[in-house]
A and B are shown apart, each in its own frame.
Chain A
Amino acid sequence: MAKIVVLGAGISGHVAAAHLRRKLSKEHIVEVVSPNSNYQWIPSNIWVGIGRMKSKSILFPLKPLYKKKHINYKQAKAVAFYPEGDIQLENPYVEVEYVVGEQKGKKEKVTYDYLINATGPKLNFEATEGLNPGQNKTFSVCTYNHAEHAWEGLNALIQQMKQGKKAKILIGTGHAKATCQGAAFEYILNVEQELRRHKVRDMAEITWISNEYQLGDFGMDGMLLSYGGMTMKSHEMVEMIFEDRNIKWILGAGVQKIENGIAHYENLEGEFKTENYDFAMLIPSFSGHGFKAYDKTGNDITEKLFKGFMVVDADYTSKPYEEWTVQDWPETYQNPTYKNIFAPGIAFAPPHSISKPRKSKNGTEIFPAPPRTGMPSGITAKLVADNIIDAIKSGKNELQHKGSMGNMGAACIASAGFGLTSGSGISITTFPIVPDYKTYADTQGRKLGKTFASIGLAGHWLKLALHHAFIYKAKMKPLWWLIPE
């Protein structure tokens, strides 16, 4: 009998738990520890944030599903890691703390044979002074609660605009090293379309603010892509979209401080500037959760497990951008010291960014951190689960399943407006996610045929179809496993 503990019930934790349960017999225990009671399909938060979708459409409670599927579930959060156990307990364990009910605050040692750390990012709002969702007229769409508040804020402003108020809207990244530009990009286009729908577009000035050096960088160093029979750079495509929709942009901006309706930022020129707004949605920086780790005798071994996020089989040697290769990126997401610990999705520490690192004239680093979107989060979770399943079944730790972001494609359907006949989406695929500048030297590190973009109504339908398909899959309904990650 083996016990696999999965920390986190987001995209990667839930995918891993579902595959483990499906492929392992009931004598093995699959246990999920996560503080959230609901599963949420995060990509659809964009539509919650413009009032076109209710949050209940993007979530469902985990407890009944896990009970039905024989997956143990503890609504608790991991606090500390003891990969060697301690002097009293021989087995490796994670110290967890319950977050609800009578047990709230109670700590427990959760032992494991295999551990999957799928705790994703901490939404590090504290890293930017004054950036707090719902305060200082700033909002977030990173969780369904945040997205609901964002819609309340936006709707209130729309009503004021209907009364004649001129408004400034600021959307983008709220930290010099934030990631997830794609989500902010979707939100700005959706907000722009909603303002048109409410017939107040001419009352608003909409501005994109981002730590990207160029538009369309998306934390992926930009892309050369096929678009409508042409080969185009992603910054040209995004520029076309923004100009067409009368959206202004501020680039190379590291937002440092938020006051009520004022964003203070430093740019790559080293200038300190401000931007006023009546409504802002700024993505915070993402960080690790600050977990601690201890060996058997209680010595602090945090650096063996964490570099902010979890240490895995990446090459963390510090080297200049010109020397980065796809081989730096992890393939199995296994911790090199404790081979029964894995970290798929956003939980693993990347070797470096994907975008070229840049500093302002004052030496401040201003560039996007590397994104890990839903598709790679799901794929890496599944391959980790498959390696554990193989190890349990064969007794050998061979790690046959591999998936480097340097040898993996991703599809990202960016919503550009909601509506069955008036909606729009920008469908982008890229292969590989991390550019391989050696193999695809002439096409900016990507394979052109597999790196393409398309804009139009079909993109909205696709995004909507994926919403339904992935919620069906997450609910583990019949044949759910046929739907790919």
Chain B
Amino acid sequence: MSIFESRGATRRFGGLVAVDSVSFAVEQGEIFGLIGPNGAGKTTMFNLITALTPPTSGQLLFQGQNIVGKQPHQIAAMGIARTFQNIRLFGNLSALENVKVAQHTHTHANVFAGILGTPGAREEARRVEAKARELLRLVGLGESADEKAKNFSYGDQRRLEIARALALEPKLLLLDEPGAGMNPNEKGILSDLIRQIRDQFNLTIILIEHHVPLVMGLCDRIAVLNFGQLIALGKPAEVQSDPAVIDAYLGD
């Protein structure tokens, strides 16, 4: 059984079909690339998976279960985490707090336990803090844990988004252009980081990325969207030489 499968997922915005009966399956442990020209429907696909946008039709299966109709926080609790192309951090919270928030579903202290500081709540708070700091170190932000997220550089904000998503302890991680705004050197580090977290946390990753070397070097398989339709799916080398793909990128 594939960890994730899209069966004819479709999303219309008025007359525009942003995602047009797209079907593909992602296997456990894969780094799966999702590429395509601007406006191809990649981010919309992520929004469908995370229930931020409901599909017009089609099925989305996570670990064999149809997740269409669930709410975003339920999807998160099931083990699907994401980052946002247009960075959506909690700007006025510190980096540390950003990562702590994402541990919400794995913690239980209720409002009174938290306020009274019961031993259970305190123990939990210590665990949450330790884990948040560890994740920040992992993405290279250990030093700036207490700074407000909105004061971070572009690249640091993208790394913080990854740390926050990891705090959900996901099984499936969706990265929406994590390298945007980074220089080639930073992109190289990012590439290593993505591979490292896949191995360390036993993740399956779907990666949207425009930077071709990054995608080609990193992904096990790649799906190509164009005008909402899936036009190619396969190993990086196969996809790269696919006439339909070359046409989509170079054509009109």
Report if A and B associate in a common complex.
no
Chain B residues engaging chain A, CB cutoff 8 angstroms: none
Q: Which residues of A contact B (CB under 8 A)?
A: none
